[in-house]
């Protein structure tokens, strides 16, 4: 008999929630067959069975969140399939290589996520204060190196917590009744791990990074026409996003400083464009990463993007696919926005949006007005890494690429 | 009493002790002429026969002091530079420190060994060393290392009155650098006490001698940046004032230990271990030691000596890092 435990899904992940079990006690289980679906702060994964055998007892019910290493279920008569020779029992506890890969992603991915490592370490002073005053450290914003929660952070949190009820009571006794009355008027929405992580990351990005914003306007009349032609030629649905992604990759070739990450105290300029794509999934925002996007043709980009977005919406991304981005693009025009000011996705130093294409009258030539397809391109950048001049030059290149598009 | 420098406070304490107690006498190399730092200037004339020159033999100087103390005298021996005290190591550590133990407390050994220590005076390898760690390691010896003139005065008086052997360390760079009004009652009155000389919530610095003053200067600079440091003047290294040391560490949870002695096995290692052992739950950052590098002597060349010595700039940089942690 072998026990399957909550796996370590990336270096910074400490717990996971079992969403649903695919197997019931008594079911036959093959090696690498999905046992259950697990939701973590970063991504949803299917847990491939490290063993073949028969499903035994299940220890964690659906919806329950448990820390890494906690037993999830037992597999009876566990054996590693196709294990040539040797006693199967002794091999039973070694998870299959496939399971390992699926669960942990590559080494490089794990390293790239080390920006969130600080949250895991609490100093003795912090733990002592938290235990003494009953503080949930997840709620305390950290201001130390790498977002570490310091003793002073806990003390400030306690001071706020103490002054908050005092302020509420200040208007005299009826205040308390009002609070109770109001509570009946709202519903508490429990935060999913994904939602909480999004919140933490965005708050930290805003708090810690000097973000600057700029926007240019592009005439994409030609591009809109080209898209229709290309869609007809390829016989498939085609949005502007692959065109935009291709233009971003090409513009980065001329302005490589925007294809960078601030990590481990240094600014790292990447050779490959690992394009983060913001996707609105049912469970919240996810940003799958299209690796080495600069190597793909327009058609290749279109296919890869479709596939990635589809799996993102279905919650089928693997951990390695949401890490390691070097720049993020966001097709905000898809929901009708004409200008937006995105927040950086640290440690990346730039995020660029494609807004909604609007047909409107513009001045053309010296003295004419024409109806043109216009679109805004918005860029938020980390001012520590890039100056406005360079950011503007990048947008200008991007605009000219979009205004004079090529079919290939 | 008026404002005194460190060397004047030392001289005043010797003068007053000689006047107060007929059993007190001073011995050492060139002390009749006033000594190389002028600590005993004028005392030979004022107290004839009680300020005695010795040969250049540190082992003998300390041995004579031990013998005299056995016979009920209160000798105050001067070792011209702390670098040379090791010639008398056996006398101090194998004899003086154990006398009380060997006699089951029947006999005490009221003697003081004064010696100038520390770098920053371009003294090169034989006139710059820190020796405190060797002797603070030896139970039965008291080791005192003040920083301010008032403490030099009162603690030297206390050392001379103490029934145990006391090694009294005088930082030579501060001899004429630090001034303070000395009233005779404004210094620390007891051996074995440390003092918090500055209060701040962000980190705690520990130092003694010249480094204490460098810590205070760094703390002033840091205050301008919004970083507030608690600074502990250790005053006595053995026996160590554990309560004050631990209380200061618990206040901030971030500890910076500074000494010019080399890092490995330096006195800071004892402080770090003590704090880790007894204030662990209060620590909010790894304990940091800023010390001389692990090379045999302090170099002679001014550039190299500056590289070797911790100073206010290096202390402030280390403190900033710690405060940010």
Q: Nearest C-alpha of chain B: how many angstroms from A123?
A: 5
- Residue A319 pLDDT: 76
Whose structure tokens read 């003040």?
B146
Q: Quick one: A214 and A134 in the same domain?
A: no
**Secondary structure in 3-state letters for B181-240:** ECCCCCCCCCCCCCEEEECCCCEEEEECCHHHHHHHHHHHHHHCCCCCEEEEECEEEECC
Q: Check CB contact of A145 with chain B, cutoff 8 Å.
A: yes
On average, the pLDDT of chain B sits at 96
Does B324 sit within 8 Å of A144, measured CB to CB?
yes
Q: Quick one: A99 and A123 in the same domain?
A: no
Integer Cα distance of B82 and A151 in angstroms: 42
A150 vs B contacts (CB less than 8 Å): 284, 325
Q: Is residue A83 over pLDDT 90?
A: no
Q: Quick one: A349 and A223 in the same domain?
A: yes
Q: Quick one: A231 and A163 in the same domain?
A: no
Cβ neighbors of A343 (< 8 A, separation 6 or more) are A202, A205, A206, A211, A351, A380
| Within a domain: A209 | yes
A125 vs B contacts (CB less than 8 Å): 253, 281-284
Helix axes A298-313, A221-234, angle to 10 degrees: 80
Q: Quick one: A176 and A59 in the same domain?
A: no
**Plot region of B201 (φ>0 → left; ψ -120 to 50 → alpha; else → beta):** alpha
Q: Which one of A146, A181, A216 terminates a domain? A: A181
Contact in structure between B298 and B119 (CB atoms under 8 Å): yes
3 state DSSP class of B178? coil
Task: Delineate the domains of chain B, giving CATH numbers in brackets.
Answer: 3-181 (3.40.50.970), 195-324 (3.40.50.920)
How is residue A287 written in tokens? 């940003």
Q: Quick one: A56 and A132 in the same domain?
A: no
Q: Quick one: A90 and A126 in the same domain?
A: no
Contact in structure between B231 and B212 (CB atoms under 8 Å): yes
Integer Cα distance of B282 and B274 in angstroms: 13
Integer Cα distance of B10 and A242 in angstroms: 83
Spans of chain B, pLDDT less than 70: 1
- Closest residue in B to A152 (Cα–Cα): B202
Q: Nearest C-alpha of chain A: how many angstroms from B257?
A: 19
- CATH of residue A212's domain is 3.30.559.10
A118, A125, A144, best to mutate vs chain B, most B CBs in 10 Å: A125
What does residue A262 show for φ and ψ, rounded to 5 degrees? -95, 100
| Within a domain: A229 | yes
Edge-to-edge strand order for the sheet containing B203-207? B195-198, B229-233, B203-207, B255-262, B288-292
**Plot region of B197 (φ>0 → left; ψ -120 to 50 → alpha; else → beta):** alpha
- Residue A357 pLDDT: 96
Q: Which of residues 248-267 of B touch A (CB under 8 A)?
A: 252-253
pLDDT bin (cut points 50, 70, 90) of residue A408 is: low
| Within a domain: A350 | yes
How is residue A266 written in tokens? 């240094």
Q: Quick one: A251 and A345 in the same domain?
A: yes
Integer Cα distance of B245 and B132 in angstroms: 18
| Within a domain: A126 | yes
- CATH of residue A20's domain is 2.40.50.100
ipTM: 0.74
Q: How many CB pairs under 8 A join A and B?
A: 30
Does A150 sit within 8 Å of B325, measured CB to CB?
yes
Q: Which residues of B are catalytic?
A: 127
| Within a domain: A193 | no
| Within a domain: A187 | no
Comparing CA positions, the residue from B195, B316, B174 lying closest to residue B256 is: B316
Share above pLDDT 70 across residues of chain B, in percent, rounded to a whole number: 100
Q: Check CB contact of A107 with chain B, cutoff 8 Å.
A: no
Domain count, chain A: 3
Integer Cα distance of B220 and B313 in angstroms: 11
β-strand pairing of B179-181 with B3-5: antiparallel
Integer Cα distance of B80 and B29 in angstroms: 7
pLDDT (tens digit per residue) in A123-156: 999 999 998 888 889 889 888 888 889 999 999 9
B201 vs A contacts (CB less than 8 Å): 152
Q: Which one of A82, A104, A126 terminates a domain? A: A104
Which of the two residues, A29 and A77, has the higher pLDDT score?
A: A29
- CATH of residue A173's domain is 4.10.320.10
Q: Check CB contact of A150 with chain B, cutoff 8 Å.
A: yes
Integer Cα distance of A280 and A337 in angstroms: 14
Q: Check CB contact of B297 with chain A, cutoff 8 Å.
A: no
Is residue A387 annotated as part of the catalytic site, yes or no? yes
Q: Check CB contact of B285 with chain A, cutoff 8 Å.
A: yes
Residue range(s) defining the domain that contains residue A9: 2-104
Q: Quick one: A345 and A379 in the same domain?
A: yes
Q: Check CB contact of A152 with chain B, cutoff 8 Å.
A: yes
Q: Quick one: A236 and A150 in the same domain?
A: no
Contact in structure between A349 and A208 (CB atoms under 8 Å): no
Integer Cα distance of B247 and B199 in angstroms: 12
Share above pLDDT 70 across residues of chain A, in percent, rounded to a whole number: 83
Residue A157, preceding peptide bond in cis (omega within 30° of 0): no
CA atoms within 13 A on the CB side of A365: 5
- Residue A105 pLDDT: 37
Q: Quick one: A143 and A257 in the same domain?
A: no
Q: Quick one: A211 and A291 in the same domain?
A: yes
Alpha carbon separation from A293 to A58, A112, A320 (Å, rounded) = 42, 18, 16
Q: Check CB contact of B276 with chain A, cutoff 8 Å.
A: no
| Within a domain: A195 | no
Contact in structure between B100 and B109 (CB atoms under 8 Å): yes
A152 vs B contacts (CB less than 8 Å): 201-202
Does A125 sit within 8 Å of B281, measured CB to CB?
yes
Does A127 sit within 8 Å of B281, measured CB to CB?
yes
Range A248-261 burial, b when 16+ CB lie within 10 A, else e = bbebbeebebbbbb
Integer Cα distance of A143 and A150 in angstroms: 7
What does residue B100 show for φ and ψ, rounded to 5 degrees? -60, -45
- Specify burial of residue A359 (Cβ count, 10 A radius: 0-12, 13-18, 19+): exposed
pLDDT (tens digit per residue) in A159-212: 988 887 655 444 444 444 445 555 567 777 878 777 888 888 899 899 999 999
| Within a domain: A194 | no
pLDDT (tens digit per residue) in A322-366: 889 999 999 999 989 999 999 999 899 999 999 999 999 999 988
Comparing CA positions, the residue from A196, A194, A201 lying closest to residue A315 is: A194
Q: How many C-beta neighbours within 10 Å does residue A295 have? A: 11
């Amino acid at each position: 008999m072998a026990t399957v435990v909550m796996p370590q899904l990336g270096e910074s992940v400490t717990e996971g929630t079992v969403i649903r079990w695919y197997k019931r006690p008594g079911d036959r289980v093959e090696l690498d067959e999905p046992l259950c679906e697990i939701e973590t702060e970063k991504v949803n994964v299917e847990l491939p069975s490290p063993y073949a055998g028969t499903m035994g007892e299940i220890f964690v019910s659906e919806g329950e969140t448990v820390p890494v290493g906690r037993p999830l279920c037992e597999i009876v008569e566990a054996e590693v399939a196709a294990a040539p020779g040797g006693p199967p029992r002794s091999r039973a506890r070694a998870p299959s290589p496939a399971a390992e890969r699926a669960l942990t992603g590559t080494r490089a991915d794990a390293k790239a996520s080390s920006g969130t490592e600080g949250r895991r370490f609490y100093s003795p002073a912090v733990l002592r204060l938290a235990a003494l005053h009953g503080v949930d450290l997840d709620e305390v914003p950290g201001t130390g190196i790498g977002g570490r929660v310091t003793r002073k952070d806990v003390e400030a949190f306690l001071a706020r917590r103490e002054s908050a009820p005092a302020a509420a009571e200040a208007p005299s006794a009826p205040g308390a009744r009002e609070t109770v009355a109001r509570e009946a008027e709202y519903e508490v929405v429990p935060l999913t791990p994904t939602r909480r992580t999004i919140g933490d990351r965005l708050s930290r990005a805003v708090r810690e990074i000097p973000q600057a914003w700029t926007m240019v306007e592009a005439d994409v009349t030609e591009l809109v026409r080209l898209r229709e032609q290309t869609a007809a030629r390829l016989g498939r649905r085609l949005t502007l996003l692959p065109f935009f992604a291709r233009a971003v990759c090409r513009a980065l070739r001329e302005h490589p400083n925007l294809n960078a990450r601030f990590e481990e105290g240094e600014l790292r300029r990447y050779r490959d464009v690992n394009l983060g794509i913001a996707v609105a999934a049912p469970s919240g925002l996810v940003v799958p990463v299209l690796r080495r996007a600069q190597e793909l043709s327009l058609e290749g980009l279109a296919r890869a993007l479709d596939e990635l977005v589809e799996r993102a919406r279905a919650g089928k991304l693997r951990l390695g696919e949401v890490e390691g981005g070097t720049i993020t693009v966001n097709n905000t025009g898809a929901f009708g926005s004409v200008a937006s000011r995105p927040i950086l996705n640290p440690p990346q130093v730039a995020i660029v949006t494609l807004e909604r294409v609007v047909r409107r009258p513009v001045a053309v030539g010296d003295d004419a007005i024409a109806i043109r397809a216009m679109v805004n391109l918005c860029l938020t950048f980390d001012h520590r890494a890039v100056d406005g001049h360079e950011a503007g030059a990048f947008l200008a290149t991007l605009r000219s690429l979009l205004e004079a598009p090529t079919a290939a | 009493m008026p404002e005194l420098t460190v060397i004047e406070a030392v001289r005043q304490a010797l003068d007053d002790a000689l006047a107060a107690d007929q059993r007190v006498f001073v011995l050492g190399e060139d002390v009749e002429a006033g000594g190389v730092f002028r600590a005993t200037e004028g005392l030979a004339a004022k107290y004839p026969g009680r300020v005695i020159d010795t040969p250049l033999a540190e082992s003998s100087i300390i041995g004579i002091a031990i013998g005299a103390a056995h016979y009920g005298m209160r000798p105050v021996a001067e070792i011209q530079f702390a670098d040379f005290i090791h010639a008398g190591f056996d006398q101090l550590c194998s004899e003086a420190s154990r006398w009380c133990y060997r006699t089951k407390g029947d006999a005490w050994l009221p003697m003081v060994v004064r010696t100038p220590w520390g770098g920053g005076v371009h003294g090169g390898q034989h006139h710059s060393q820190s020796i405190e760690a060797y002797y603070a390691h030896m139970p039965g010896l008291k080791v005192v290392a003040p920083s301010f003139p008032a403490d030099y005065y009162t603690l030297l008086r206390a050392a001379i009155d103490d029934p145990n052997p006391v090694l009294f360390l005088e930082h030579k760079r501060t001899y004429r650098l630090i001034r303070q009004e000395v009233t005779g009652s404004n210094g620390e009155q007891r051996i074995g006490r440390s003092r918090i000389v500055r209060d701040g919530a962000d980190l705690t610095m520990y130092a003694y001698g010249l480094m204490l003053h460098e810590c205070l200067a760094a703390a002033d600079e840091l205050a301008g940046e919004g970083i507030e440091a608690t600074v502990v003047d250790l005053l006595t290294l053995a026996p160590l004032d554990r309560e004050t040391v631990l209380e200061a560490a618990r206040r901030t949870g971030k500890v910076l230990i500074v000494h010019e002695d080399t890092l490995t096995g330096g006195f800071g290692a004892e402080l770090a271990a003590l704090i880790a052992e007894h204030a662990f739950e209060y620590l909010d950052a790894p304990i940091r030691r800023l010390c001389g590098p692990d090379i045999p002597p302090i170099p002679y060349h001014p550039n190299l000596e500056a590289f070797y010595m911790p100073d206010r700039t290096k202390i402030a940089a280390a403190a900033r890092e710690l405060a940010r942690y």
